Amino acid sequence: MHPAYNDLKRRLAEVDDLTSAAALLQWDQQTHMPEGGAEARGRQLATLQRLAHQKFTDEAIGELLDDLTGESAAWPYDSDEASLLRVTSREYARATRIPADFVAEVSSHAATTFSAWAVARPANDFASLRPKLEKSLELSRRYADFFPESAEPIDAHIANSDFGMTAASVGELFAQLRTELVPLVRVIAECPPIDDAPLYQHYPEDAQLRFGEEVARQLGYDFQRGRQDKTHHPFATKFSVNDVRITTRLDEKWLSEGLFGTIHETGHALYEQGVDARLEATPLALGTSAGVHESQSRLWENLVGRSRAFWKHFYGPLQELFPTQLGEVPLEAFYRAINKVQPSLIRTEADEVTYNLHVLLRFDLERALLNGELAVADLPEAWNGRMEADLGLTPPDDRNGVLQDVHWFDGFIGGAFQGYTLGNVMSAQFFAAAQSAHPEIPGQIETGRFDSLREWMRANIYCHGRKFTADELLRRATGGPLSITPYMAYLRRKYGELYGL
Ligand code: ZN
């Protein structure tokens, strides 16, 4: 290989070492760090992140990328070399447009806004956050100004998490989805409610943790290259292809929280553990976008983990573990309970059918804020109006409304929500493609075998890391562009049967 290529890889590995070290400090911060460590940890993280940014935006990297551009004509598009050059050039061009003092301004504003939100949310105090939110909006628009080719300000933010998507493409897909979902939710809301009381009993934490780890292991999560810890907010993180960790949160009074949270994070981790080891320590050794990442967590959590087939295998062991809680609850009643649909106020607790309406609302509001069509002062009212229109509920206060998610209160406004719904939509499209290649998948799941499904995901998605954009992956893996058709078909089939529609 060209000497410039080796030099580029060496420099990128150093950047990766710094960002991985920062990720490890963040993991520690949320799992084991004593409270007293907070101040120094903030400083250490800022130092590592600044060094990583400096190293990545070094002019020497730009020169190496230029040198290699001439060479690369001979490299096949899907080769590791061409992909590394393509993705690194894209990231380098984006990163070098942002002045360092702007980055510093955003990060210090983000830190004070986050602390203020942590106090204001429990106090239900939107008014005190309003000036900070207005500043966040101004910074978010200034960020977009660095990308004047964008059709809308939010496009610059979407490109950071779901590269290749725009407000126009996402907005059109979401509008189609909303047209289908709102009436479906309304019809289900009129059906007799499903009894989910069996899930709300006392479930001792240790037993929940053991069961969750056993499920993760059987799904294919490799504990030789990972581990699970408890945190306040569950997440998955990676320091290397061979060290991908998950965390979970358990509620002794509600089984679903820990169980489906663990399966969700396992899905993220299967993706990262499945990235080809050849891509280690390069910008390609990551999931490709927020949407594709979420497609994997949601696929394993919902399409697999909330399916009847899955529980034909796992319900016996769960009953044995919790005989007093579930011994008398038939499989079918349990299956119905874990799939209960009920419009609710909080996104993270929403069921599969109503969940996306929470995301669509946030996406539309942040897009309107950035376009200057909605003022921060009018945000709570706009939020409540849309909740009423889509879910038939009005939040009693802002704590259960506009203040519930951290996403608008830790830096920019824009680009952080669409991935959740893109992921749900993609999950069904990928699952349908896997199943048509391997019709035996549902039968295998009933017997606790997940290898055909996981191997299809590994070969078509995981191994490529960030070599391809979400759109490229979808076309390669499923033969077509992103579409809501498989997702809506899945929801109608499953919930049509559950609710007798
Ligand atoms: Zn997730």
Tens of pLDDT, residues 124-182: 999 999 999 999 999 999 999 999 999 999 999 999 999 999 999 999 999 999 999 99
Task: Indicate if the pLDDT at residue 310 is higher than 90.
Answer: yes
Instruction: Locate 473 and state its tokens.
Output: 């992956």
In a domain, 427, yes or no: yes
* Paired sense of beta strands 243-248 and 228-230, if any: parallel
Residues 303 and 247 in one domain: yes
Task: Say what the pLDDT of residue 255 is.
Answer: 98
In a domain, 139, yes or no: no
Residues 463 and 339 in one domain: yes
| Cβ within 8 Å of residue 55, ≥6 positions away | 11, 14, 15, 18
Task: Indicate if the pLDDT at residue 332 is higher than 90.
Answer: yes
Residues 89 and 171 in one domain: no
- Rounded CA-CA distance 181/421 in Å is 12
Instruction: Locate 314 and state its tokens.
Output: 């796992």
pLDDT, tens digit (0-9, with 9 covering 90-100), for 345-388: 999 999 999 999 999 999 999 999 999 999 999 999 999 999 99
Task: Indicate if the pLDDT at residue 71 is higher than 80.
Answer: yes
pLDDT, tens digit (0-9, with 9 covering 90-100), for 437-462: 999 999 999 999 999 999 999 999 99
Q: Using an 8 Å Cβ cutoff, are 469 and 476 in contact?
A: no
Residues with CB under 5 A from ligand 1 (ion): 297
Residues 471 and 337 in one domain: yes
Instruction: Locate 83 and state its tokens.
Output: 């992909």
CA of residue 323 to ligand 1 center, whole Å: 31
- What one-character-per-residue DSSP string does 60-106 give? HHHHHHHHHHHHGGGS-TTSHHHHHHHHHHHHHHHHTTS-HHHHHHH
Catalytic residue among 265, 272, 294, 352: 265
Domain that holds residue 32: 3-123
The per-residue pLDDT of the chain, averaged, comes to 96
Task: Specify the CATH number for the domain of residue 204.
Answer: 1.10.1370.30
Phi, psi of 35 (to 5 degrees): -50, -40
* Paired sense of beta strands 236-240 and 228-230, if any: unpaired
Sign, CA dihedral 398-399-401-405, equals positive
CA of residue 181 to ligand 1 center, whole Å: 21
Residues 319 and 459 in one domain: yes
Residue that finishes a domain, picked among 58, 90, 123: 123
Calculate the alpha carbon distances from 397 to 166, 353, 393 in Å.
Answer: 32, 24, 12
- Rounded CA-CA distance 322/204 in Å is 9
Task: Indicate if the pLDDT at residue 41 is higher than 80.
Answer: yes
Task: Indicate if the pLDDT at residue 430 is higher than 90.
Answer: yes
Residues 387 and 473 in one domain: yes
In a domain, 130, yes or no: no
Residue that finishes a domain, picked among 68, 88, 123: 123
Residues 429 and 293 in one domain: yes
- Rounded CA-CA distance 426/296 in Å is 9
pLDDT tier, 286 (very low <50, low <70, confident <90, very high otherwise)? very high
In a domain, 309, yes or no: yes
CA of residue 454 to ligand 1 center, whole Å: 18
CA of residue 488 to ligand 1 center, whole Å: 20
In a domain, 255, yes or no: yes
CA of residue 245 to ligand 1 center, whole Å: 13
Residues 208 and 295 in one domain: yes
Task: Indicate if the pLDDT at residue 45 is higher than 80.
Answer: yes
CA of residue 465 to ligand 1 center, whole Å: 17
Residues 114 and 216 in one domain: no
Longest dimension (CA), the chain: 69
Between 46 and 77, whose confidence is greater? 77
CA of residue 364 to ligand 1 center, whole Å: 21
Task: Indicate if the pLDDT at residue 46 is higher than 80.
Answer: yes
Mean pLDDT score, 18-23: 97
Residues 247 and 188 in one domain: yes
Q: Is 138 helix (H, G, I), strand (E, B) or coil?
A: helix
311-329 residues labelled b (16+ CB within 10 A) or e (exposed): bebbbeebbebbeebbeeb
Task: Indicate if the pLDDT at residue 4 is higher than 90.
Answer: yes
CA of residue 491 to ligand 1 center, whole Å: 19
Q: How many separate domains does the chain show?
A: 2
In a domain, 189, yes or no: yes
CA-closest candidate to residue 222, choices 240, 249, 204 = 240
In a domain, 145, yes or no: no
Task: Say what the pLDDT of residue 73 is.
Answer: 86
pLDDT tier, 296 (very low <50, low <70, confident <90, very high otherwise)? very high
Q: Is 265 a catalytic residue?
A: yes
Residues 211 and 343 in one domain: yes
Mean pLDDT score, 264-291: 98
Task: Indicate if the pLDDT at residue 1 is higher than 90.
Answer: no
Task: Say what the pLDDT of residue 182 is.
Answer: 96
**Residue 245 host element (H or E):** strand 243-248
Residues 101 and 220 in one domain: no
In a domain, 137, yes or no: no
